[in-house]
Amino acid sequence: MPTLNYLCPTTSSELKKILKKKKTDSFILAGGTDLLVKIRHNVVKPKEIIDIKKIKKFNEIKLTKTQLNIGCAATLNEIAENKTIKEKFPAIADGSLSIGSTQIRNRGTLVGNLCNSSPVADTVPGLLIYDAKIKILSPTGTKTVSIHDFITGVGKNILKKNEIVESVILPLPKNTKSAFLKNARRKALDLSSVNVAVGLFNKSKKNPDIRIAVGACAPITKRAQKAEKFLKKNGLTDETIKKAAKMLPISPISDLRGSKEFRNKIAHRLFIKLATQLGEV
Amino acid sequence: MNKKFTSVGVKTKRVDAKAKVTGAAQYVDDIQFPGTLYAKVFRSTEPHAEIVSIDLEKAKKLPGVKAVICGKDFPYHTGLYHVDQYMFAMEKVRYVGEPVAAVAATSLEIAEKALKLIKVKYKKLKANYDPIKGMKKDAPLIHPDLHKYFSVPSINPKPHSNIPNHFKIRKGDPAKAFKKAHKIIENRFKVPQIQHVPLETHGAIAKTDLSGKITVWSSCQSPFTVRYLLAHCFKKQLKDFRIIAPFVGGGFGCKAGVNIEPITVALSMKCLGKPVKLILTREEEMYTIVVRQACHIRIKSGVDKNGKIIAQENEYIWDCGAYAGYGVNIVRAAGYSICGAYNIPNIKGDSIGVYTNRPVGSAFRGFGMSEIHWAIEQQMDMIAIEMGIDAVEFRKLNTLKPGSTTATCQVVTKHTGNMIACIEETAKNIGWGKKKKAGKNNYRAVGIALAQKAPAMPNNATSAAVVKLNEFGGAEVLFSGMEIGQGVMTAMGQIAAETLGISMDKVNVVGLPDTDYSPYEWQTVASRITFSCGNAVKNAAQDAIDQVKKIAAKVFECKAKDIVVQDGIIKYGKKTLPLEQVCMGYQYEDGHTIGGAIIGRGHFTAKDCINCDPKTGYSPKPVANWTYGAQAVDVEVNGETGELTIHNVSCTYDIGKVINPQGADGQAYGGIVQGMGAGIMEALVVDEKTGNVMNPSFVDYKVPTIKDMPLSMTSSFIETQQLDGPYGARGVGEHTMIPTPAAIANAVYYATGVRIQELPVTAEKVLKGLEELGKNK
């Protein structure tokens, strides 16, 4: 019978000691909504599981004067229902709400969604447009990296085996609005065929500070810098939005969730819809 | 029938509700015996290959492993209508997922580990996934021994081919009629394989005791058929087997025959005295047991100037998958129902089953009708549009009415059912002809489709029931129609209460059969239980009450026929006697007693059903009865994404007497939602390079969630009495999912002009269609 070592630290310092000795067959457990599926499908065979939910501060969603910290054990439903996130970061709240079902969101975490680093992750486009910072904990201390440098490939990120993401830091924006849309085969419990987050960070229609990220259409979801620059220069009109849609950095594949042609079309339409909506109000 | 009913027709709460809501209801996996061994099945990874060698030795040596078996240990066949399958693959494998060997061990982990130690060498054969290719003369044979297989008389395999059944309809003179036709309209349609997705996967526990008696606890729809097929398979007596059927978490046809029971029994025979438990994982459930058959369809219709269909060719080429033990009967059912609910005088119909190397096709709610109605009901709209006739009017003109003849030349009477009423009621409820308001950039319209279906069962399929009266004037009602969620326990309780003249709360509905103690039931399939088992229960209750009256007649000194029993009181004129004073015999004041414990027995077999002629399909009565219905769907199409929103679904079925209005509504809603799933999202995808199912889990096989529900559903029922039905009832379990996909497709067409002829109607297909028409926003 295979044995499984279950560790459940209650403080950061305890966790640090565990991380120091962590091996490659040891896995971090937060909500477990990705890990348990991978274990069932024999994708990973853990000999040790480190449950981080019992560390109190990891569960917190904390607001300071300049930023919002989302702890790595904060659940997707807590995020989707958080008043500050709904007000200040609607694309992140809606992205979180679009994942799985109520039951899954009661377990799953935003940081888990990020660390799973799937191209279809529904919280990632939102994190990208808000230039989130990722606070990484290792046995020797903490460091902060940009969301733009975090994901390195399909299911891959910069985390080393003895590191975890402790929290996601969102600088508090001024005068912003944002929105998120997801296209999937059904209305709940489905992976995105395409997901899009768009944010408007100033009130200028002439020189809009617009930020765009389209997910599920490339190995790594990235900001649509070319389209952003184009719109900033040329203003937000029906015509420029349509032109910008053609500049999205997307190269979708065909799979069971949709053909590349379909994904291209949907990505364009969702982007146009969001950009138009944000420009109108 | 003007009699006032007290139980039948009264909205009745499910008798199993409390057990299910509280978790008291036990399913196979809930049953835990000490010393249980856990089974796992070793499955083929090849779609079509010769088995060169099987090495079980390493697996056998693993500590904790108690048995490892394969085909040579149990070289036995299974199959209900057509015996074409070994319990384990023998000379060759025919689909990915086919059982090749099995293990029983002291834990599931050990059993899984043992599977990895089994080595099978294959010699690959060319696989075929296309039934049309499989029909060709030079196609490689998937079953070279087809001509040696046993089939029941109504099945017609074509020797030395890939065709396990070909059903023909030759009615009138279609060639001549086509020549006279004003217009000829021909179209092709496709239906993919889909999964039943029962909430509870297949599960069984088998125990062979030291005396050799074999007990099986199984999640099944048909315990007596399981017993019969096991006895055949293992060449034993029926008395050697006892099947106990606890609650079932959904069947939908996939638990109709035998599935995993033979393997579980075989393992238990090698581990005497130990219960062996086999519960399938969801991934195994998806493709290793059975799925709905795929179908390639061609319909050619000839219409006269008035819009009457005068000739039709219907061709159904069924992808049976690797085995067709049950599937051949779907081919037959689609044959005798070949043109749906329409009155067509000249028909050439061919329903042909073809073996392929896909997962095994079998019974699925609708039993072929959902599949063929996808095509028939779109074809009807396509003709109506071509002729410039309203779709509702066109159907009213062409549908079966009293005096019409069906495809087999059966004459429809006023008692068969009233399709016109179903169409009119449905059209009224959906607001047919009224323009529906669509959102910005969207399209919206209503589509309609009809359905007809008969119970597809052997003509001698029989039901039995026992009603035991008890000391309190209540009754135990025993029958073996399985409660698979459809509400049979409640309906049987109502029928018994009504017939006995007692209230529902005095009835102890003993569902959950045990073949050693329960009365016989053929199978819980074909929407036949309310009709057939209901008749058996009614007859048993009547038998009990006749015995009561006989005793009471002596007490009252009157004739038995002048006695009535109402509300638990035996009445003769003004004289009364509480029922409980007779149930166990009546005791006079001086102590002497007449009569004794009363047990009623009843059975039912549909009368006068005749097999179809193999050359023409002719039969004056191929089936016990027909249920007609109509369904309309109000659909909004998103002009930007192709996504569908189902606003409203309205349906009407002529089910004779509605036994439980609450249950009938439940069947309607459930059927609509399952039909919607098949209509807009479900398809099993096979990789034609490897034979692997690409979406063997809920990650990529989608069924509707609560958020995908239609925004509104309404159901109505027409009550044309079924003359031989219990209180005039006939079945409705399957019918409610039959018209939904075609009604959706028709609505999408009316809304957008996009015609989708291959299921499912996905957003991607609709969007592509919109673009082709230049209608995307």
Determine the Cα–Cα distance for residues B610 and B612; give it in Å rounded to an integer: 6
Residues 6+ apart with CB under 8 A from A191: A120, A184, A216, A257, B699
- At residue B729, the 3 state secondary structure works out as strand
Contact A1 B707 (CB under 8 A): no
pLDDT of amino acid A175: 86
pLDDT tens digits for B252-305? 999 999 999 999 999 999 999 999 999 999 999 999 999 999 999 999 999 999
pLDDT of amino acid A281: 64
Q: For position B717, which CATH number holds?
A: 3.30.365.10
Residue B1: pLDDT over 50: no
Signed CA dihedral, B386, B388, B392, B398: sign only: negative
pLDDT tens digits for B688-721? 999 999 999 999 999 999 999 999 999 999 999 9
Q: Are residues B442 and B569 in the same domain?
A: no
B707/chain A closest Cα distance in angstroms:
6
pLDDT of amino acid A1: 54
Domain boundary among B279, B299, B319: B279
Q: Are residues B440 and B467 in the same domain?
A: no
Chain A, chain B: beta-carbon pairs less than 8 Å apart? 44
The residue of chain A with its CA nearest to that of B107 is A1
Distances, alpha carbon B82 to alpha carbons B148, B356, B358, B724, in Å: 11, 16, 18, 30
Of B465, B617, B453, B640, nearest in space to B535 by CA: B465
Distances, alpha carbon A214 to alpha carbons A256, A266, B13, B291, in Å: 19, 11, 50, 37
Contact B641 A185 (CB under 8 A): no
Identify the band that residue B26 occupies on the pLDDT scale cut at 50, 70 and 90. Answer: very high
DSSP class per residue in B516-535:
TTSPPB--S-TT-IIIIIHH
Q: Are residues B256 and B372 in the same domain?
A: no
Residues 6+ apart with CB under 8 A from B195: B285, B286, B287, B291, B292, B682, B684, B701
Q: Are residues B380 and B482 in the same domain?
A: no
The arithmetic mean of pLDDT across residues B558-587, rounded, is 97
- At residue A178, the 3 state secondary structure works out as strand
Determine the Cα–Cα distance for residues B207 and A75; give it in Å rounded to an integer: 46
Q: Considering the domain boundaries, does residue B5 fall inside one?
A: no
Q: Are residues B262 and B330 in the same domain?
A: no
Q: Considering the domain boundaries, does residue B351 fall inside one?
A: yes
CATH code reported for the domain at A59-171: 3.30.465.10
Contact B695 A256 (CB under 8 A): yes
Q: Let me know the angle formed at the C-alpha of B409 by B406 and B415, rounded to the nearest 5 degrees.
A: 60
Q: With contacts defined as CB-CB under 8 Å, which chain A residues touch B764?
A: 258-259, 262
Domain ranges of chain A: 5-50, 59-171, 177-280
- At residue A81, the 3 state secondary structure works out as helix
- Token couple for B639: 């002009």
pLDDT of amino acid B2: 52
Contact A1 B107 (CB under 8 A): yes
Q: Let me know the angle formed at the C-alpha of B376 by B374 and B378, rounded to the nearest 5 degrees.
A: 70
Of A189, A257, A266, the CB nearest to B705: A189
Q: What is the 3 state secondary structure string of B568-636?
A: CEEEECCEEEECHHHHEEEECCCCCEEEEECEEEEEEECCCCCCCCCCCCCCCCCCCCCEEEEEEEEEE
Instruction: Spell out the per-residue pLDDT of chain A, length 281, in tens.
Output: 568 999 999 999 999 999 999 999 999 999 999 999 999 888 999 999 999 999 999 999 999 999 999 999 999 999 999 999 999 999 999 999 999 999 999 999 999 999 999 999 999 999 999 999 999 999 999 999 999 999 999 999 999 999 999 999 999 999 899 999 999 999 999 999 999 999 999 988 899 999 999 999 999 999 999 999 999 999 999 999 999 999 999 999 999 999 999 999 999 999 999 999 998 86
Q: Considering the domain boundaries, does residue B64 fall inside one?
A: yes
Signed CA dihedral, B758, B759, B760, B761: sign only: positive
Q: Considering the domain boundaries, does residue B10 fall inside one?
A: no
Helix A238-245 to helix A225-234 angle (10° resolution) is 160
Asked whether B507 and B493 are in contact (CB, 8 A), the reply is yes
* Burial state string for A63-74 with b = 16 or more CB within 10 A and e = fewer than 16: beeeebbbbbbb
Q: Considering the domain boundaries, does residue B729 fall inside one?
A: yes
Distances, alpha carbon B95 to alpha carbons B85, B284, B355, B721, in Å: 12, 13, 11, 46
User: If you search the block for the tokens 């290793």, which residue do you land on?
Assistant: B288
Q: Are residues B401 and B304 in the same domain?
A: yes
What is the CATH topology of the domain spanning A5-50? 3.30.43
pLDDT tens digits for B628-654? 999 999 999 999 999 999 999 999 999
Determine the Cα–Cα distance for residues B74 and B385; give it in Å rounded to an integer: 58
- At residue B114, the 3 state secondary structure works out as helix
Contact A186 B685 (CB under 8 A): no
A226/chain B closest Cα distance in angstroms:
24
Determine the Cα–Cα distance for residues B243 and B674; give it in Å rounded to an integer: 30
Q: Are residues B232 and B116 in the same domain?
A: yes
- Assembly ipTM: 0.95
DSSP class per residue in B184-243:
EEEEEEEE--B----SSPPEEEEEE-TTS-EEEEE--S-HHHHHHHHHHHTT--GGGEEE
Determine the Cα–Cα distance for residues A226 and A213; give it in Å rounded to an integer: 11
Domain boundary among B605, B623, B643: B605
The arithmetic mean of pLDDT across residues B455-474, rounded, is 96
Distances, alpha carbon A93 to alpha carbons A63, A127, B138, B623, B632, in Å: 15, 10, 60, 57, 38
Q: Are residues B327 and B470 in the same domain?
A: no
User: If you search the block for the tokens 């091996």, which residue do you land on?
Assistant: A23
Asked whether A250 and A267 are in contact (CB, 8 A), the reply is yes
Q: Are residues B531 and B616 in the same domain?
A: no
Q: Considering the domain boundaries, does residue B649 fall inside one?
A: yes
Residues from A contacting B (CB-CB < 8 Å) are 1-2, 101, 183, 185-191, 256-259, 262, 265-266, 269, 273
Q: Considering the domain boundaries, does residue B7 fall inside one?
A: no
Q: Are residues B449 and B582 in the same domain?
A: no
The residue of chain B with its CA nearest to that of A267 is B641
Domain membership of residue B330 as a residue range: 291-457+610-772
Of A1, A188, A259, the CB nearest to B705: A188
Q: Let me know the angle formed at the C-alpha of B431 by B344 and B454, rounded to the nearest 5 degrees.
A: 35
**CATH for A177-280, options being 3.40.50.300, 3.40.50.2300, 3.30.200.100, 3.30.390.50:** 3.30.390.50
Determine the Cα–Cα distance for residues B337 and A48; give it in Å rounded to an integer: 60
Asked whether B190 and B295 are in contact (CB, 8 A), the reply is yes
* Whole-number average pLDDT of chain B: 97
Which of B699, B703, B772 is most worth mutating to test chain A (most A CB atoms within 10 A of its CB)?
B699
User: If you search the block for the tokens 């978790």, which residue do you land on?
Assistant: B23
DSSP class per residue in B444-489:
EEEEEEEEEE-----TT-EEEEEEEE-TTS-EEEEE----SSS-HH
Contact A262 B707 (CB under 8 A): no
Residue B475 exposed, middle or buried by CB count within 10 Å (0-12, 13-18, 19+): buried
Q: Is B665's Cβ below 8 Å from some Cβ in A?
A: no
Q: Considering the domain boundaries, does residue B138 fall inside one?
A: no
Of A158, A160, A137, nearest in space to A149 by CA: A158
Determine how β-strand A210-215 pairs with β-strand B77-78. Answer: unpaired
A191/chain B closest Cα distance in angstroms:
8
DSSP class per residue in B279-322:
E--HHHHHHTS-EEPEEEEEEEEEE-TTS-EEEEEEEEEEEEES
Determine how β-strand B712-718 pairs with β-strand B644-654. Answer: parallel
Q: For position B89, which CATH number holds?
A: 3.90.1170.50
Asked whether B101 and B56 are in contact (CB, 8 A), the reply is yes
B117/chain A closest Cα distance in angstroms:
16
Q: With contacts defined as CB-CB under 8 Å, which chain A residues touch B695?
A: 256
Contact B767 A190 (CB under 8 A): no
Structural domains of chain B, count: 3
